[in-house]
A and B are shown apart, each in its own frame.
Chain A
Amino acid sequence: MNLRLPAGTPGAKIIGLGSFQPENVVTNDDLARRVATDDQWIRDRVGIVERRIAEKDTSLVDMAVEAGSRALKDSGLEPSAVDTVIVATCTMTAPIPNAAAQTADRIGITAPAAFDLNAACAGFCYGLGTAADLVRAGSARNVLVIGAEKLSDWVDWDDRSTCIIFADAAGAAVVTAAQSADEVGVGPVSWGSAGDQATTIRVLEESTNKLWQHGQAVFRWATTQIAPVALDAVARAGLSPADIDVLVPHQANLRIVEAVARRLHKEGAREDLRVADDIVHSGNTSSASIPMALDHMRTAGRIRSGETALLVGFGAGLSYAGQVVRIP
């Protein structure tokens, strides 16, 4: 006897966005009082002017709850309509229990499938790709995907090469079924990993137990290998670079963002392509950076409903993932 499977749907779309940042602003001058650096040095290397760092008593889950609730409110769905919650994160201080189940509970979502996903800074795009396929397969109806990171727990505040980069935040999206093919708002994911370079971004378990990265190696990888992933995502969606209105790369370093944009321009992206630069005032917030940049750009009127955005995440693993989405 054959096993029965759900009918599935034409595909998925994003119907809500939300984000959360802690109130505490840390400027470059604040960091210069702690490590040997200065405002101009930081702006030149990474393009960051200020970042938000959570208070000690604000947890990763607190931020996930805020961003998730805001995305849900934006979608118009009741918490009871959500049946799956994915939290993309790599910065939980304890691996047990996961963030997703408690986040769902605090938002008022009852008994959803709930799991954490660790693809570091590519986590949101991994989560979005997973959510879209769950919806398409009929395994989930409405999925809340949250990228939440409290990187400040893992930053070595005496290491001037990394403490200037990372910050805390959460960003979220609500994914639901498209009723018809022309309503589909999440394109196929282009994803992969490079485990041979796993040691280039890691927690130094043998010494500080803090985050460390080989800046030059990661920069070389990101500036050469990520634009092809983004272009592959565009091709898989049946589009060309000229169809893209907004480019939202993971906000790792403004110079990486600009390098990816330059490559896209060489491949036919339009002159008026808008490029996310949320890192300038938010820092690198790993899996939170892409949904938060989308949310901030929409609030600022820089992107409009129905526009086509190209997302691409990349980071520790090394991992990468990208897809084309329609702005809700």
Chain B
Amino acid sequence: MADTAEILSGLAEIVEEVAGIDTAEVSADKSFVDDLDIDSLSMVEIAVQAEDKFGVKIPDDQLAELKTVGDAVSYIEKNQ
């Protein structure tokens, strides 16, 4: 089981791969849409990769609730 820091860094790597955003930019307080300019389809790609990496399920209705990087990290931490 990954801890909070490991999930954040793993998620940042996925965001970098999918959306080309430097991992340093991907901090817990950032909003995916407003700060990182990630669109709804990229969010799906990030979710699919996060599911593989962390062994969680992130259905589309849950995905819509994950507004910030921190939201995603805590969702993964709770559900892994």
Contact = CB atoms under 8 A, between A and B. Distances in A.
A44 interface: yes
A220 B39 contact: no
A215 B43 CA distance: 12
Contact of A217 (B43, B45, B48, B60): B60
Provide the main secondary structure of the chain A interface.
Answer: helix
Nearest to A46: B41
A130 to B, nearest CB: 32
Given A216-B60, A217-B60, A44 B44 contact: no
A216 B40 contact: yes
Interface in B1-55: 39-41, 43-45, 47-48
B39 A223 contact: no
A216 B44 contact: yes
Given A220-B48, A223-B48, A255 B60 contact: no
Contacts of B47: 220
B63 interface: yes
A219 interface: yes
A253 B41 CA distance: 11
A216 B63 contact: yes
B48 A224 contact: yes
A223 B60 contact: no
A45 interface: yes
A255 to B, nearest CB: 6
Contacts of A255: 41
Contacts of B40: 215-216
A259 interface: yes
The 5 closest A-B pairs by CB, nearest first: A220-B44, A216-B60, A219-B44, A219-B41, A216-B44
Interface of B: 39-41, 43-45, 47-48, 60, 63
6 contacts: A45-B39, A216-B44, A219-B41, A219-B44, A220-B44, A223-B45
